[in-house]
Amino acid sequence: MLIGVTALAVIAPLVGGCPAPVRQPAAAPPAAWGTGFSLPARLMPRSVPAASLATGGAGLADDGGAACPTLADTTRPSARPRAITYGDAYYTRLTIHRIGSYAMLPLFVTEYILGQKLINDSLPSSGLKTAHGLVAGGIAVVFATNTVTGVWNWMDARRDPSNHTLRNVHSAIMLASDLGILWTAASTPGGIRHTPFDVRRQQARRHRAIAITSLSVSTVGAAMMWIFKH
């Protein structure tokens, strides 16, 4: 019977929540069963300390509804996304950039028409060549302005997750078109008066092909922002 009481005292904290401490009095060894018989010392029942019973039910609730101690919640709250704000200078550059993108198409069309006339005319007039050069200079100014304003605003918005991929793709396309415009300027036919007409026409056609490719790439980059209204 003593062994049963001891087992019940040990199992109770695991089943019934947070029991009140139970004091188990020290049990005297049973009388000898028969002549010359006694239990070994390792089988003798021992008392269970009250402190062990008190801590054994930690983390559970007792029958009276009192809450037992629980582990602290170590879950870290998710960080709030930081708001991105832009100053007036950002929107001023954005307005200049948009005006430049709208002005590109008329300049492209005008330059193509003037360049085609230069190719077809064996002796182009000085006025035609001057007009072609002025429009080309206007395109160079627009590209330089949009490159500065675009890169500046891209740096300011690089941490903004909104339309992040769209801005990166647009910037890469426009920088590629910048390189194409530089290549176009470098391929301008030289020495028109001292160059045979057939050779000059071949150079001019190559110059036109590079220009059309560069301006087409630029148009694709600008159209992306128009379509997505950014």
Evaluate the CA torsion angle 138, 144, 149, 153 in order and state its sign: positive
Among 134, 225, 211, which Cα is nearest to 177's? 211
Q: What is the pLDDT of residues 85-125, one digit of tens each?
A: 788 999 999 999 999 999 999 999 999 999 999 888 878 88
Answer yes or no: are the C-beta atoms of 136 and 111 closer than 8 Å: yes
* Cβ-proximal residues to 163 (8 Å cutoff; 6+ apart), any chain: 228, 230
Distance CA 88, CA 198 (A): 54
- The packing angle between helices 197-227 and 88-120, to 10°, is 150
- What are the sequence ranges of the domains in the chain? 1-26+43-57, 88-227
Distance CA 198, CA 204 (A): 10
The two three-digit tokens of residue 82, written as one number: 């930081």
At 164, is the pLDDT very low, low, confident or very high (cuts 50, 70, 90)?
Answer: confident
Q: Is the pLDDT of residue 59 over 50?
A: no
The two three-digit tokens of residue 47, written as one number: 């008392």
* Percent above pLDDT 70 for the chain: 61
Global pTM reads 0.60
Alpha carbons within 13 A on the beta-carbon side of 117: 14
Largest CA distance in the chain: 142
* Percent above pLDDT 90 for the chain: 42
